[in-house]
Structure 1
């Protein structure tokens, strides 16, 4: 243990595990909450009481006469259960009511899912500067404690309000874990290429959590119960907390260099472009989380485990995309990888509403996850690179800003999802997000060659040495080209550059001299 303490690889493992558990909790609730809320509101008519396949209005064909046996007696026929017209009409009325209930519930589920990201959005600007004062290890451990409490509340919560509080509380823990974790990696891995590889692996832990969460939650909910997946997650979180306590030994560590302010980072257009791509890349999947399970129930008659497995292709491909484009993005250009990723995301979002069965969702969901992995694994190290070359190498605030971008997508997406599904429909909602991705993608070309801190200074300020050098060059040109003055000097009154140089040097002007006399004496 003593030998491992302070190791970069150990920090990478701890950050990856923290992101894994955080995102397992994030996505485990996806197949559980929508049906759980419906069932506690309709205890006499839960979703399991409805048929899982769409009904047809066609009258079933009469059974064919059974063939006779060898002795001439007819063989027994299977009994066919049919509904009377009155029963069929009643069932269809109930199914129609269920459809309206599910569409209306999308709004509430979306708000519950968005509460985590919204709280995280508010806490990030506090956690980022806090890491400059006390270091990364204490906020990291605080994130574990808060997430453990949130998981226990999820396990035993039986009302919408309690689940809402648990989800919002998770946002505080996620803010501490993600900002501190990514800042810790950027601080330990100073080489740009190594940093990209390390963040790709850490985001692979995030992807694995997204991968395991939905099927884990759906299967456990159907076959064991609602509390079981959360109790298992709380036990895993406890193990991660003990690992942090013994290995990282949380303590106060102040930043050695002056950190960039949040205002300076927010006013940097290149950082905003990189952060914006993270927002738009994740907004589509964020809108799918509350709406896709209910859409599958309504249109495909999907079971609980099918609702969870629907996100499996996206999670697997996200895991592949983050690990592939961590190192590959450095070679081909991170701006290009993110630009291509946004275009692929738009195409996959348009394809999802065309699916008529869970099998048809495999290709668009897989492409969606892979493309999001391209954007995240390219832009996260790009944020650290932009801070290195344009500000100072302190990373808490920039990764707070990057996490804010991530949270905006996961706050706006679910919050608007229900309203958009009710107003314009599931299909047009995804088409609209796809168009936004297509429009944003060309902006990433600006990250191809971002100016460094020195170039920015040259472009915006002029120091005294530069002024003196410019005046010397202008004076030499004026001496060679200007006509002689009355006292033997030279003057080029029409030279605008000379006048500008004179205006920038008011200290050498003498009182009581005309402009012409001053110019002659100076030259």
Structure 2
């Protein structure tokens, strides 16, 4: 009885710590969005260099993720979780004193490396602690932390920047990271017993066709918000004469909808099946991308953006437990490598979204470009549905 009670307590501690860790990471990631362009301008940094600064996070995350996946399977989850928060705190403090492009670039790269350690080890820890039937719900809860951090980060950073100048947001963020780090130290005292994993065997997961199909869905789910970033603000200005503040609030709508949808979708997907839920999510994505550029009234626009957020949750929330199940069925507990694959796919989606959206808008215009992307999502949805059905048979 005591053993069961202790397990429940350890599970709850792990879920709390991982959700908070993901929230902190995304809060600090988004915090610099309203700060960096203005500060970079004061340092006479070009727009191209600003673009490199923003893109360097995803590039660092992409490169570092497989490394931390293997490491966390070898040494456990607690170590990389602590290294991640240490790196994030250091990057945040360095940001406060960075006064050249190269220092800013180092900070952003370090932030991406820290995120790779936190996300990979954190998600793997949840897979270690929770059985298959509970993973949908807990992974959804963890993703709600991501959504809330994304939602609050720019607002938090912009408000503190206006209140106290450039350094204040980073000192405040370092304080939050310190609290997060202390909680990781004191609450993550034990891990479930895991058998020693052979890294070469773990990478055999890449030959699993269902896993590759899920990876494609993760790329699409990650690309959904980034499709909007380079092109949609101008649309809101043209149609609604929206100010930057209103645009910022509207961009918060998908994140809020995502935060509410992810835990619910995670629970539902456990009951009806993760592949079926992903298929539904891809269908909603195609519809929402088509609808989001149609409204001429603000309330309809809010509803369309809310649907975008729901589609993100419906695609991404089931992919995490499905990947864990695939690893388990392959008779491996290499969840670090498994979620390294997830993070890599997510990074690719973050990079492909703005590129595809910007290029297609230049060629076809905004409405046709979103429609073209929606058609590609719909084609993948049909391919995904057919292939997963054949695999099941």
Q: TM-score normalised by the shorter chain: which range applies?
A: 0.7 to 0.9
1:9 aligns with 2:17: no
Write out per-residue CA displacement over residues 261-300 of structure 1, whole angstroms, 9 at most, x where no aligned residue: 3541222111011111011122121232344446656775
- Which runs of structure 1 show a deviation greater than 6 angstroms over 4 or more consecutive aligned residues? 3-6
SS at match of 1:256: coil
Write out per-residue CA displacement over residues 148-188 of structure 1, whole angstroms, 9 at most, x where no aligned residue: 12222334445554433322221101110000001011011
Q: Which one of 292, 310, 313 corresponds to residue 373 of structure 1?
A: 313
The 3 A distance-change label for structure 1 pair 254 and 194 is closer
Q: Which one of 169, 190, 205 corresponds to residue 145 of structure 2?
A: 205
1:29 aligns with 2:32: yes
The 3 A distance-change label for structure 1 pair 231 and 430 is farther
Partner of 1:511: none
Partner of 2:63: 122
Partner of 1:412: 352
Write out per-residue CA displacement over residues 362-403 of structure 1, whole angstroms, 9 at most, x where no aligned residue: 122211111111111111000001111134233111111011
Q: Which one of 87, 110, 125 corresponds to residue 169 of structure 1?
A: 110
Contact 1:208 1:319 in 2 (8 A): yes
Deviation at 1:17, TM superposition (A): 0.5
1:142 aligns with 2:83: yes
Partner of 2:170: 230
The 3 A distance-change label for structure 1 pair 220 and 348 is farther
Between structures 1 and 2, the one with greater helix share: 2
The 3 A distance-change label for structure 1 pair 218 and 363 is farther
Deviation at 1:11, TM superposition (A): 0.9
The 3 A distance-change label for structure 1 pair 140 and 418 is same
Q: Which one of 130, 133, 154 corresponds to residue 214 of structure 1?
A: 154
Superposition TM-score, scaled by structure 1 size:
0.66
**1:308-457 matches, cutoff 5 A:** 308-354=248-294, 361-415=301-355, 418-422=358-362, 424-445=364-385, 446-448=387-389, 450=391
Contact 1:144 1:177 in 2 (8 A): yes
Write out per-residue CA displacement over residues 315-366 of structure 1, whole angstroms, 9 at most, x where no aligned residue: 1110111110111111122112111111222222233334567655312221
What CA RMSD, in Å, does the superposition of the two structures yield over aligned residues? Answer: 3.2
The 3 A distance-change label for structure 1 pair 407 and 254 is same
Write out per-residue CA displacement over residues 180-203 of structure 1, whole angstroms, 9 at most, x where no aligned residue: 00101101112x111222111111
SS at match of 1:117: helix
Deviation at 1:254, TM superposition (A): 6.9
1:282 aligns with 2:222: yes
Q: Which runs of 5+ in 1 are unaligned?
A: 43-103, 456-523
How far apart are the structure 2 equivalents of 1:386 and 1:427?
Answer: 38
Write out per-residue CA displacement over residues 227-247 of structure 1, whole angstroms, 9 at most, x where no aligned residue: 433332221111011111223
How far apart are the structure 1 equivalents of 2:152 and 2:327?
Answer: 33
Superposition TM-score, scaled by structure 2 size:
0.86
**Larger CA Rg, structure 1 vs 2:** 1
Contact 1:148 1:234 in 2 (8 A): yes
How far apart are the structure 1 equivalents of 2:354 and 2:39?
Answer: 18
Partner of 1:182: 123
Contact 1:27 1:214 in 2 (8 A): yes
How far apart are the structure 2 equivalents of 1:387 and 1:274?
Answer: 13
How far apart are the structure 1 equivalents of 2:290 and 2:196?
Answer: 49
Partner of 1:74: none
Contact 2:285 2:308 in 1 (8 A): yes
Q: How many residues align?
A: 387
How far apart are the structure 1 equivalents of 2:108 and 2:356?
Answer: 17
The 3 A distance-change label for structure 1 pair 402 and 256 is same
